Amino acid sequence: MHIHILGICGTFMGGLALLAKHAGHVVTGCDASVYPPMSTQLERSGIALIEGWDEAQLTAEADLYIVGNVVSRGNPLMEAILNRNLPYTSGPQWLAENILRDKWVLAVAGTHGKTTTASMLTKILDSANLNPSYLIGGVPLDFDSSARGTNSNFFVIEADEYDTAFFDKRSKFVHYRPRTLVLNNLEFDHADIFPDLAAIENQFHHLVRTVPANGQIIVNAESEALDRVVKRGCWTESVFFGGSSDWAHTIEKGSNDLVFLNRGESVGGFSPQFFGEHNHSNALAATLAARHAGVPVPEAIAALKQFSGVKRRMELRGTVRDIAVYDDFAHHPTAIRSTVSGLRGQRRSNGRLLAVFEPRSNTMKMGASQRELPASFEGADKIFCYVKGIQWDVPNAFSPLKEKIFFFEDINELSAQVVAEARPGDDILIMSNGGFEGVHTKILDSLRAGK
C-alpha cells in the first residue's frame, strides 16, 4: 500500500512513517517545512518528502492519506482530498488499527516526563531482550531514532493528550488501548484546546476506561488530579507510587544513590547518570511498568544504570571554558521548576545557574501560565527571556524576580548578553519546546571564540 502522510516532519508523524515503512508500505509525505533532523532520519529510511501542500501531490495516487493534527480545514491538499472523496485517516487511528492491535501496548501519559519515562521503559525492555517496538516524542540517546518497529509483542508509546486531528477532537491516546498504562502526573496545559483542567481529566478518564481488567495502571499517588481521574471509575488493577503509597524512591544518605522502596524496604539502588527528583520519579514509574511486563525490579535497575537520557531533555550540548550549556524541553511552570531544581542540586562548583527561556508553546503564548512562572525560576541566579512575538505583558508577569531577569526581542542580543555574563563554573540552562533560533549553537560558538 502507498501511504502519503500530511505533516510528516512532526515527531509523532515522522515516527509513524518509520513504522509504516517497517510494516512494508510505500511511504511518502509532506509538510509545511521539511527540515532536519526528522527529514534526514526519514530520507535515510527511503521515505520521499515534499515541501508544502500543493494538491499536485495527488497525482501519485496514494492508496491512503494519513493526516496529522497540524493540518486544518483550508489546507489546499486536504481540501482536494475531501473534494475527491479520497480515503484518509488520522495517525493515531491508523497506528491503532494497523500496528498496535495485536501488541502488548505500554503507554506513558501525563503532563510532564512522558518522553523520558517512555525512553527509560524502552531501555529496560530492550536490556531484558524483549526487543520492543516504540514510538516516542523525542530521540532516546540509547537508540538511533524516535521510533522503531520490531517483531516483538511489546510496544512502548508516548501517550499524548493533544487532539487527534481536525476531524477527531479526542485525545490521541484514546486510540492506543494499552495493557500497561503509566499516569505520571496531570496539570493544566494545552490552553489552546482545553478550557480547564477538568476537560483534560475527562480525556484521561476516557483513557482509563480503555485499559482491560487484566492490565495494570501505574499511578502517581501525589497527583490530586489523577486521584480524581481514578476515583471516577477504574476497572483495572492500579499500582500507586510516591507519597505514602507502597512504592517510593529516596536518595541514600552518604552515597547519593537512588533507592527504590516497596513498603519501606529497599528493593535496590544505583547511581544514576540522570538527576532531578522528577527523573527519579520517572525511573520508578518505568520500572513498575516493566515489572508488569515481566521484568524483575533488579533487572530494571541494572538497565537504568546505563540509561543515557533523551535528546533535548537536560542534554549537555557542550562545555567551554568550564561553562556547561544544557538544552531542555521544559515549557510548563512545573517542568521548569523541576529542571532548574534538578540542575541546581547537581552543581559542579560554586558557579551560578543562568536560565535562558523562550515561552514558545501555545499555552505560553496565550499567557495561561504567567502567574506560576516567576516561582518556577526561583532557583536560577539570572534569567534571560526571549519575548519576540509574545502579546501578553511578560515583564509585568515576571516583576517578582526584579533585577534577576532580562528581556530580549533580538536573539543575537540575548546570546551576546548570556555569553558576556557567563564565567567559569556557571551552568547555562536553555529551555524551549522549539528550535529557539539556534541559540544553543550561537552561545557555544561565541564561548569558543572567546567573545
Q: Is the dihedral of CA 30, 310, 132, 282 positive or negative?
A: negative
The three cell numbers of residue 105 are 501496548
Instruction: Please tell me the predicted confidence (pLDDT) of residue 159.
Output: 96
- pLDDT, averaged across the chain: 90
Query: What 3-state class would DSSP assign to 174?
Result: helix
Alpha-carbon distance 99 to 89, whole Å?
14
Name, in order, each residue with C-beta under 8 angstroms of 243's C-beta and a sequence gap of 6 or more.
221, 222
Alpha-carbon distance 6 to 71, whole Å?
7
User: Of all helices (H) and strands (E), which one includes residue 441?
Assistant: helix 439-449
pLDDT of residue 361 exceeding 70, the answer is: no
Dihedrals φ, ψ of 442, to 5°?
A: -60, -45
Q: Note the pTM of the prediction, 2 decimals.
A: 0.84
User: Of all helices (H) and strands (E), which one includes residue 276?
Assistant: none
The three cell numbers of residue 232 are 471516577
- Number of DSSP helices (H) and strands (E) in the chain, helices first: 15, 23
- pLDDT above 70 covers a percentage of the chain that reads 95
Instruction: Please tell me the predicted confidence (pLDDT) of residue 345.
Output: 67
For the stretch 208-241, pLDDT in tens is: 999 999 999 999 999 999 999 999 999 999 999 9
Alpha-carbon distance 16 to 12, whole Å?
6
For the stretch 177-207, pLDDT in tens is: 999 999 999 987 777 788 899 999 999 999 9
Instruction: Please tell me the predicted confidence (pLDDT) of residue 193.
Output: 80
Domains of the chain: 2-88 (3.40.50.720), 102-304 (3.40.1190.10), 315-449 (3.90.190.20)
More confident: 390 or 173: 173
Taking CA atoms, 158 is separated from 12, 37, 411, in Å, by 9, 19, 32
CA angle 314, 316, 319 (to 5 degrees): 145
Q: Where residue 169 falls among pLDDT bands split at 50, 70, 90?
A: very high
Spell 90-113 as b/e; 16+ CB within 10 A means b: bbbbbbbebbbeebbbbbbbbbbb
Provide the 10 A C-beta neighbour count for residue 76.
13
Q: Mean pLDDT lowest for which of 102-106, 147-151, 308-312? A: 308-312
pLDDT of residue 414 exceeding 90, the answer is: yes
For the stretch 11-36, pLDDT in tens is: 899 999 999 999 999 999 999 987 66
Mapping DSSP onto H, E and C, the string for 337-376 reads HHHHHHHHCCCCCCCCEEEEECCCCHHHHCCCCCCCHHHH
Instruction: Please tell me the predicted confidence (pLDDT) of residue 347.
Output: 62
More confident: 348 or 298: 298
β-pair type (163-165, 168-171) = antiparallel
Instruction: Please tell me the predicted confidence (pLDDT) of residue 375.
Output: 84
Residue owning grid cell 514509574: 285
The answer to whether residues 12 and 37 touch, using CB atoms and an 8 Å cutoff, is no
pLDDT of residue 120 exceeding 90, the answer is: yes
β-pair type (265-270, 258-262) = antiparallel
Alpha-carbon distance 66 to 297, whole Å?
39
